[in-house]
Amino acid sequence: MSRRYDCSDPMERTRGIAEAVSAVRRGELIVLPTDTVYGLGADAFTATAVAALLEAKGRGRDMPPPVLVGSVRAATALVDDLGTYGQDLIDEFWPGALTLVCRANPNLLWDLGETKGTVAVRMPMHELAVELLKETGPLAVSSANVSGQAAARTAEEAEKMLGDAVSVYLDAGESGRAEPSTILDLTGPIPRLLRAGAVPEHKIRAVVGVLLTDEFEDGGPDADAAGSDGPSSIDLGKPSLSKGGTSAAPDAASEAASGAAESGETPADSAPADAAPGEKPSLTKDEPPPPGGESSRGEEPPAAENGSPSPGGDGAPVSGGGESEPKKA
């Protein structure tokens, strides 16, 4: 049986987050609010949970979900390389509605689907979501809907579509505009825009200078692939080189990332449900590194007195206030 928690009530919010954390550690699905639409989440390091997420949505392994994180350090632990512009883009747009596709850390033991060695990662600008992610560690998150249907903007809409496939629904009221996040591929020498979204192209160009864009034929990818559920391993059209609003054929296009699909999320520019308009929540971007070094799960390990971190997808979590670790090969 699933349960929905009204997070506008402080006690319900606390109870709901605790139940959501427990559900994730059991390998079950949850629905959480983000700065965009509601997301369907699962432990990124539990293969059976990710498979259940895809099954609940009616999607195949060729459309792997992106990963949401609660800190910048978590994101950098998941990727092999941020590329030339990754850190600058993070500094400028995170937390927010910019998804970065990078080469995945090859030492991590996880199975998000047919990613071809890439991972799409984002840090949302939503206080409740970040609070949850700090407890669970990285979550595989896609839009909380059945593929082909509109992304849920309320927990109630998500529950009508997903029902008892989800253990815990965190209800933070109606989400903002249902505009998806912008997806940027950093796996090549030149950043490539995979999907236009909440972060405008001109703002990205202001950071990276030169940007590969895709000229869609016949209106581009189908609605389910490029709309609420984001692109997957699809041909995104002929790339063009964009700088300062002009375009020309590039010498070489960057390699398209495979499973960079993001849940159909709305912009980070709109204020999250539980943060003041125009104000970013308190985050860990500038936190000092933990004593034990960087976590292999992509999150800061908790202090010793809080218990040891979770061993990842197939190990039993150990209670503690910090975020859990992924396994390395």
- Could you identify the residue written with the tokens 């209800």? 171
Top-tier CATH class for 3-208: alpha beta
Q: Residue 222: pLDDT above 50?
A: no
pLDDT of residue 51: 98
pLDDT digits 0-9 by tens, 17-63: 999 999 999 999 999 999 989 999 999 999 999 999 999 999 999 99
Taking the C-alpha atoms of residue 72 and residue 76, their distance in angstroms, rounded to an integer, is 6
Q: Where are the domains of the chain?
A: 3-208
Peptide bond into 221 cis (omega under 30): no
Q: Residue 269: pLDDT above 70?
A: no
Q: Residue 9: pLDDT above 60?
A: yes
- Could you identify the residue written with the tokens 């998941």? 78
pLDDT digits 0-9 by tens, 281-299: 444 444 444 444 444 455 4
The SS3 call for residue 226 is helix
Q: Residue 244: pLDDT above 90?
A: no
**Residue 243 banded pLDDT, cuts 50, 70, 90:** low
Q: Residue 69: pLDDT above 70?
A: yes
pLDDT of residue 241: 56
Q: Which whole number is the average pLDDT over 261-286?
A: 40
Question: Which of 195-204, 252-261, 315-324: highest mean pLDDT?
Answer: 195-204
CA-to-CA dists, residue 194 to 89, 301, 317, angstroms: 15, 33, 36
